[in-house]
Amino acid sequence: MSTPHVLILGGHGKVALKLTPLLLQKSWRVTSVIRDKDQESDITATANSHAENLKVLVESIEGVRSTNDATRVLDQVKPDYVVWSAGAAGKGGPVRTFAIDRDACRYYIDAAASPTSTVKKFLLVSYITSRRSYPPWWTSEDKASADNVNQNILANYYKAKVAADEYLTARSKAARDGGKAFADICLRPGFLTDDDGGEGVLLGKTGSRGEVSRADVARVAAALLDTEYRGWLDLLKGKEDIQEAVNRCVAEKVDCIEGEDLEAIYNTKLELD
Ligand SMILES: NC(=O)c1ccc[n+]([C@@H]2O[C@H](COP(=O)([O-])OP(=O)(O)OC[C@H]3O[C@@H](n4cnc5c(N)ncnc54)[C@H](OP(=O)(O)O)[C@@H]3O)[C@@H](O)[C@H]2O)c1
């Protein structure tokens, strides 16, 4: 494949604004989807190299109400990879959380995984406790903390993200079973911070508690897109060099989906309402 073309959904988000220049530095092409034309200058300001490879598309994600709506955008842009870093961020109540974090995300996944789409990889920025079961490596403190976040603090976000993550896994498997080369990457950071990061990460089977900088999430996402990785990866601040951590997870096929009911996930209903 020639230079990859990445469509970033949620292009004006804090992670996306850090990811965009990293992809341009690789000489990749980026189309950044934003909802407000006034945000365009914030996107173009990130392009410290290869600015000619950056495009901005104004499209509301909330307006995506079907797979056809998402297909229209993908057909227009024809990306090789899609990064989902959009989110309602708790604004607009449960209706908006489900409309963006679950429904629009699943429509984009469905469109991307279709045999006729150009997309070969879908990287979804999720969060570390977006899962139904306790993985075997969690401590009792990890379990209690995850329960508190998922049941008391972010109950609707939790339901929306689990639905999107499981749909990504199931829909991608169906696409591969149907003969399409399609990698699903579910990147699952802990609490996000705005510092520069750069001191290393804990990537793979981590605890459920802790934080990581948005800058490091962007670095890990950029590195993962350059590999053959597929699966779920949890991410916290740590001490391992990012490229080494990514190489290790690829080589060892680390997949944090371990502990979930895989059969139930693969039986997720793929037809969307
Ligand atoms: N906060 C945490 O601690 C945490 C932890 C783990 C994972 N995460 C996940 O990580 C993701 C990325 O984090 P972040 O800090 O970069 O989030 P963010 O800054 O809130 O970015 C989300 C982006 O989605 C965009 N968006 C929302 N509704 C849209 C619409 N209708 N049309 C187009 N774009 C829309 C927002 O646009 P505007 O800029 O116009 O608002 C924003 O740019 C989040 O979405 C979240 O799911 C968060």
Q: pLDDT, tens digit, for every residue of 214-258?
A: 999 999 999 999 999 999 999 999 999 999 999 999 999 999 999
Report yes or no on 236 lying in a domain. yes
- Ligand 1 pocket mutation pick from 125, 235, 256 by most atoms within 8 angstroms of CB: 125
User: What pLDDT shows up at residue 29?
Assistant: 98
Report yes or no on 123 lying in a domain. yes
Q: 172: domain CATH number?
A: 3.40.50.720
Q: Which residue has the tokens 């996930």?
A: 265
Do residues 204 and 248 make contact, with C-beta atoms less than 8 angstroms apart? yes
- Ligand 1 pocket mutation pick from 22, 73, 85 by most atoms within 8 angstroms of CB: 85
153 HSE (CA, 13 A, CB side): 11
| Cα–Cα distance, 82 to 58 (Å, whole number) | 16
CB atoms within 10 A of CB 91: 9
Report yes or no on 272 lying in a domain. no
Report yes or no on 212 lying in a domain. yes
User: What pLDDT shows up at residue 89?
Assistant: 87
Report yes or no on 20 lying in a domain. yes
The total of structural domains in the chain comes to: 1
- Ligand 1 pocket mutation pick from 7, 9, 12 by most atoms within 8 angstroms of CB: 12
User: What pLDDT shows up at residue 168?
Assistant: 98
Helix (H) or strand (E) holding 186: strand 183-189
Domain that holds residue 242: 5-266
| Cα–Cα distance, 193 to 122 (Å, whole number) | 24
Cα–Cα nearest to 74, from 13, 44, 118: 118
Pick out the chain residues at pLDDT < 70. 1
* CA of 125 relative to ligand 1 center, distance in Å: 9
User: What pLDDT shows up at residue 39?
Assistant: 97
Nearest atom of ligand 1 to the alpha carbon of 61: 32
| Cα–Cα distance, 122 to 30 (Å, whole number) | 14
* CA of 251 relative to ligand 1 center, distance in Å: 30
C-alpha distance across the termini of the chain, in Å? 34
Do residues 77 and 6 make contact, with C-beta atoms less than 8 angstroms apart? no
| Cα–Cα distance, 247 to 7 (Å, whole number) | 24
Cα–Cα nearest to 192, from 236, 144, 159: 236
Backbone angles phi, psi at 117, to 5 degrees: -80, 155
Report yes or no on 18 lying in a domain. yes
Nearest atom of ligand 1 to the alpha carbon of 86: 24
User: What pLDDT shows up at residue 2?
Assistant: 83
Report yes or no on 273 lying in a domain. no
12 CB within 6 A, ligand 1: yes
* CA of 211 relative to ligand 1 center, distance in Å: 17
User: What pLDDT shows up at residue 212?
Assistant: 98
Do residues 107 and 95 make contact, with C-beta atoms less than 8 angstroms apart? no
Three-state SS letters, 99-136: HHHHHHHHHHHHHHHCCCCCCCEEEEECCCCCCCCCCC
Q: What is the pLDDT of residues 188-214, one digit of tens each?
A: 999 999 999 999 999 999 999 999 999
Report yes or no on 271 lying in a domain. no
